Chains A and B, each alone.
Chain A
């Protein structure tokens, strides 16, 4: 099937199999490998990207469902010399170790800050419930999100 979508500001028209997932489009077709796959049951959040401004697990979205959508991935939110405040906070607070959960975690956290009126530690912990990290024990991730909340 034919799918058109905008990814990180660039328009793409792609011919994809009906059962292709958005995460596969990103990783395999567009070679945007910053978005990761950590599970097969939609439980880990390693694949979170923004679709029309909201966080989605890209392993649960079919390419066809993203037709016409505006998608932003970790590669699209900041550059090494111009980091998004959430990226900067993750580095500043040592909120990553192996880095595998990090892109999904950052994309989910940006959405959480954008959509929350009041964000305290408990709300951050509950808000990131859909994202697994095996390395950090979440302690510094929570700190980073609270720091970015103030900077965003």
Chain B
């Protein structure tokens, strides 16, 4: 292995700009003559918009314009669409209420924009916003998802406030499994609402060039090409060919920056109206209200078992809160990213899941790190652990009893996926070694002597990543293909520019992708540059989410690199007057078989652009190749997470004393970066279990609307982690990789809650398990 090739922990090249303060985030980029936008946001969870009087606002010095939803509608601006059509079990389409970027007649959640003020300065825009007078006619709000179907009907087209009633699996077979079970474990589970809170608030600057009619949008997006597509095809701000979307350095996303929101749409439109750049940056208070939230499921789950622990059937019924509107991918999260994962790592032969998605007067809910898979893992792993306790079996033994075995792959689950490979016992065994499972009983006793209750919990998760085989996604209702694009441009002097449709907002693609290309083409790491995040530079691509960038985007880069090699062979064959089959390529050298003639990669690059008597109808000049890679299947990262906690029996104060994560991501390109991804995911998973909770009061006000009320995990809330990997290479992509971005957030939550309930000796405990919740459980016990 070379020091910069595949498998090496190469230090990240993007770091230098970030540690010196030279990063360029959207808010760092100013445009000459830019104006500033402030959005008018609903103070009501549900209200009819009466008259909007902007006359006083327009008198505020510096205010340029006040725009309402009417203005956008009158200009032909369309709705923000949801890109995934889910069908109910009766075959009907999901219900998609109209979602104008700026509300026109009604507002349906606190923070929903109903207008914007644009001014010469931010201060003037704020003053202008203060001066706008609006008549709202407040209406009763529907807030709680569990009772939303009995609440006031929010949309004429959505009886019972239901978006869809979806199912997956064989209901009759599952009921039969329950009928013959020796034991049934059941749990009522609330998967708490989370607020993503990437540290960089969303921002957008729309620009319009009157001379060309071209629009440019600088925005904090995980997928600039998709933003352009949606804004062109649906919102119709500008044709795709007239709209460039640039997503520069982006300060974290975690899903929340996938979606196409009102604000970037409106500032781009406003830039065209005012013929000058219009900039907006969210205040954190706005981020809390206006970024799509995550999770928010209410679930009843049951597991049927034989007396010996064989898992016979799983039955799950979930209400998923969509919030007030369907955000970009919202409908797919509690269905195809959730129900399909409920087999977990187990051979449970019958699984049935029903999901009812409901509308409420809360911020829209969409994908947040893991998206559906953490919710599925939480259901399965809480049930399995609880069943083990009820059957008085060791929780690891119960899992082993039911694991899909290496010989079973490819394994078709009862919920529509085909797992290609894995070795679940290998990860579990490694995790047990790291945590010293054998020594747990002694540690528990020692803790007892110190007045602490110690508990251990496991989570053996699986996820479907590498989204996605377009054919599968399209057949299930996706509105876009989910391939990825890549271009490998060999420059005249032999350096290489790689352009990917994926987007890096912390993942380190500029380093990892360069490692891949440098190894594949046998050229120095430093001569490979990676570009991303600008629709004018590369082909249409799908961006970064769902742990897809390496498995799909990386595979596209490999494909394009291989085309470069093939073209290089042709060029060399021409130079040597032989055929390209006679040319071998290894480590950057093209050599003629059975001869001592060869050309280096650099020489071939030069020859490509100085095409001395090329046979032009067979061999074009130049050395630049593109590829679109569409995966053959999902990838299936899986692993075993183990958590040990100690609870102070007096105070309820809880501490995670050990956390071990052993993950199988297939081959690993850069172990340092992979470990970092796991650490971050674990912290978010632990945050869900122990402190984070997006709470609305009964009137629909967000109670947790700042960092004072919404508890983000801080450095002293989490431990140092032990992370390790086992490897079963993915069988269907050229790198054998599976993806690592979400695993931590998927696996950790259940491990923590299994440990906490073990320590307390309780069956169920609501998340987040803050000290107060723990203390109450202790007192009740």
Chain A residues engaging chain B, CB cutoff 8 angstroms: 17, 27, 32-41, 43-44, 46, 73-75, 78-80, 83, 87, 90-92, 94, 96-103, 106, 121-122, 124-126, 128-129, 131-142
Chain A minimum-CB-distance residue to B672: A94
Across the interface, which residues of A come within 8 angstroms of B682, CB to CB?
137
- Is the beta-carbon distance between A91 and B11 smaller than 8 angstroms? yes
Query: Can you give 18 A-B contacts (C-beta < 8 A)?
Result: A33-B28, A35-B21, A44-B284, A79-B20, A97-B680, A99-B251, A100-B199, A100-B200, A100-B251, A103-B19, A121-B720, A125-B716, A132-B714, A134-B197, A134-B684, A137-B681, A139-B718, A141-B715
Q: In the assembled complex, how far is the CB of residue A107 from the closest CB belonging to chain B, in whole angstroms?
A: 10
Across the interface, which residues of B come within 8 angstroms of A40, CB to CB?
283-285, 706
The answer to whether A101 and B12 touch (CB under 8 A), given A121-B720, A128-B715, is no
Cα distance A1–B780 when bound, in Å?
Answer: 60
Chain A minimum-CB-distance residue to B253: A98
Across the interface, which residues of A come within 8 angstroms of B676, CB to CB?
94, 97, 135-136, 139-140
Contact of A34 among B21, B505, B721 (CB under 8 A): B21
State whether the Cβ of B635 lies closer than 8 Å to any Cβ in chain A.
no
Q: In the assembled complex, how far is the CB of residue B170 from the closest CB belonging to chain A, in whole angstroms?
A: 40
- Is the beta-carbon distance between A99 and B506 smaller than 8 angstroms? yes
- Is the beta-carbon distance between B680 and A134 smaller than 8 angstroms? yes
Contact of B19 among A27, A90, A124, A137 (CB under 8 A): A90
- Is the beta-carbon distance between A43 and B252 smaller than 8 angstroms? no
- Is the beta-carbon distance between B707 and A75 smaller than 8 angstroms? no
- Is the beta-carbon distance between A97 and B252 smaller than 8 angstroms? yes
Known: A44-B199, A137-B721. 15 other contacts (CB 8 A): A34-B21, A41-B284, A43-B706, A75-B20, A79-B20, A91-B12, A94-B675, A98-B198, A98-B249, A99-B506, A128-B715, A133-B199, A134-B252, A138-B714, A139-B679
List B residues 747-761 near A (Cβ within 8 Å): none
Chain A minimum-CB-distance residue to B287: A39
- Is the beta-carbon distance between B250 and A98 smaller than 8 angstroms? yes
- Is the beta-carbon distance between A74 and B252 smaller than 8 angstroms? no
Across the interface, which residues of A come within 8 angstroms of B201, CB to CB?
37-38
State whether the Cβ of B683 lies closer than 8 Å to any Cβ in chain A.
yes
Chain B minimum-CB-distance residue to A102: B18
Chain A minimum-CB-distance residue to B197: A134
Cα distance A75–B683 when bound, in Å?
Answer: 29
Interface residues on B, range: 35 or more
Across the interface, which residues of A come within 8 angstroms of B707, CB to CB?
39, 41, 43-44, 132
Cα distance A17–B22 when bound, in Å?
Answer: 27
- Is the beta-carbon distance between A96 and B718 smaller than 8 angstroms? no
Listed from nearest, the 4 A-B pairs whose CB atoms lie closest are A34-B21, A100-B251, A99-B18, A137-B683
Which of B675, B684, B712, B716 counts the most chain A CB atoms within 10 A? B716
Cα distance A139–B123 when bound, in Å?
Answer: 39
- Is the beta-carbon distance between A135 and B252 smaller than 8 angstroms? yes
Chain B residues engaging chain A, CB cutoff 8 angstroms: 11-12, 14-25, 27-28, 123, 197-201, 249-252, 254, 283-285, 505-508, 672-673, 675-677, 679-684, 706-708, 712, 714-716, 718, 720-721, 744
- Is the beta-carbon distance between B252 and A41 smaller than 8 angstroms? no
- Is the beta-carbon distance between A74 and B20 smaller than 8 angstroms? yes
- Is the beta-carbon distance between B19 and A91 smaller than 8 angstroms? yes
Q: In the assembled complex, how far is the CB of residue A130 from the closest CB belonging to chain B, in whole angstroms?
A: 8
Across the interface, which residues of A come within 8 angstroms of B715, CB to CB?
124-126, 128-129, 131, 133, 138, 141-142
Q: In the assembled complex, how far is the CB of residue B103 from the closest CB belonging to chain A, in whole angstroms?
A: 24
Which of A17, A100, A128 counts the most chain B CB atoms within 10 A? A100
Cα distance A105–B76 when bound, in Å?
Answer: 45
Across the interface, which residues of A come within 8 angstroms of B197, CB to CB?
134
Chain A minimum-CB-distance residue to B123: A17
Chain A minimum-CB-distance residue to B282: A40
- Is the beta-carbon distance between A137 and B744 smaller than 8 angstroms? yes
Across the interface, which residues of B come within 8 angstroms of A102, CB to CB?
18-19
- Is the beta-carbon distance between B679 and A99 smaller than 8 angstroms? no
Which of A80, A97, A103 counts the most chain B CB atoms within 10 A? A97
Across the interface, which residues of B come within 8 angstroms of A128, CB to CB?
714-716
Q: Chain A's interface: helix, strand, loop or mixed, by majority?
A: loop
- Is the beta-carbon distance between B683 and A138 smaller than 8 angstroms? yes
Cα distance A138–B283 when bound, in Å?
Answer: 24
Q: In the assembled complex, how far is the CB of residue A50 from the closest CB belonging to chain B, in whole angstroms?
A: 13
Across the interface, which residues of B come within 8 angstroms of A100, CB to CB?
23, 25, 198-200, 251-252
- Is the beta-carbon distance between A36 and B284 smaller than 8 angstroms? no
- Is the beta-carbon distance between A32 and B21 smaller than 8 angstroms? yes
Contact of B505 among A35, A80, A83, A98 (CB under 8 A): A98
Q: In the assembled complex, how far is the CB of residue B748 from the closest CB belonging to chain A, in whole angstroms?
A: 10
- Is the beta-carbon distance between B15 and A90 smaller than 8 angstroms? yes
Contact of B721 among A101, A125, A139 (CB under 8 A): A139
- Is the beta-carbon distance between A96 and B720 smaller than 8 angstroms? no
Cα distance A132–B251 when bound, in Å?
Answer: 13
Cα distance A52–B343 when bound, in Å?
Answer: 59
The answer to whether A97 and B506 touch (CB under 8 A), given A38-B201, A132-B712, is yes
Across the interface, which residues of B come within 8 angstroms of A34, CB to CB?
20-23
Cα distance A73–B21 when bound, in Å?
Answer: 9
Cα distance A136–B676 when bound, in Å?
Answer: 6
Q: In the assembled complex, how far is the CB of residue B476 from the closest CB belonging to chain A, in whole angstroms?
A: 31
Across the interface, which residues of A come within 8 angstroms of B12, CB to CB?
91, 94
Across the interface, which residues of B come within 8 angstroms of A90, CB to CB?
15, 19
Which of A36, A78, A92 counts the most chain B CB atoms within 10 A? A36
Chain A minimum-CB-distance residue to B670: A94
Chain B minimum-CB-distance residue to A99: B18
Q: In the assembled complex, how far is the CB of residue A42 from the closest CB belonging to chain B, in whole angstroms?
A: 9
Q: In the assembled complex, how far is the CB of residue A117 from the closest CB belonging to chain B, in whole angstroms?
A: 19
Cα distance A137–B21 when bound, in Å?
Answer: 21
- Is the beta-carbon distance between B15 and A134 smaller than 8 angstroms? no
Contact of A91 among B16, B249, B675 (CB under 8 A): B16
Contact of A97 among B123, B508, B708 (CB under 8 A): B508
Cα distance A131–B199 when bound, in Å?
Answer: 10
Chain A minimum-CB-distance residue to B17: A99
Q: In the assembled complex, how far is the CB of residue A97 from the closest CB belonging to chain B, in whole angstroms?
A: 4
- Is the beta-carbon distance between B25 and A36 smaller than 8 angstroms? yes
Cα distance A128–B14 when bound, in Å?
Answer: 24
Contact of B716 among A73, A91, A126 (CB under 8 A): A126
Cα distance A98–B676 when bound, in Å?
Answer: 11
Q: In the assembled complex, how far is the CB of residue A73 from the closest CB belonging to chain B, in whole angstroms?
A: 7
- Is the beta-carbon distance between B706 and A98 smaller than 8 angstroms? no
Chain A minimum-CB-distance residue to B286: A40
Chain A minimum-CB-distance residue to B29: A33
Across the interface, which residues of A come within 8 angstroms of B254, CB to CB?
134
- Is the beta-carbon distance between A134 and B706 smaller than 8 angstroms? no
Across the interface, which residues of B come within 8 angstroms of A37, CB to CB?
27, 201
The answer to whether A94 and B712 touch (CB under 8 A), given A36-B200, A38-B199, A99-B23, is no
Across the interface, which residues of A come within 8 angstroms of B683, CB to CB?
136-138
Cα distance A65–B28 when bound, in Å?
Answer: 24
Which of B20, B123, B254, B714 counts the most chain A CB atoms within 10 A? B20
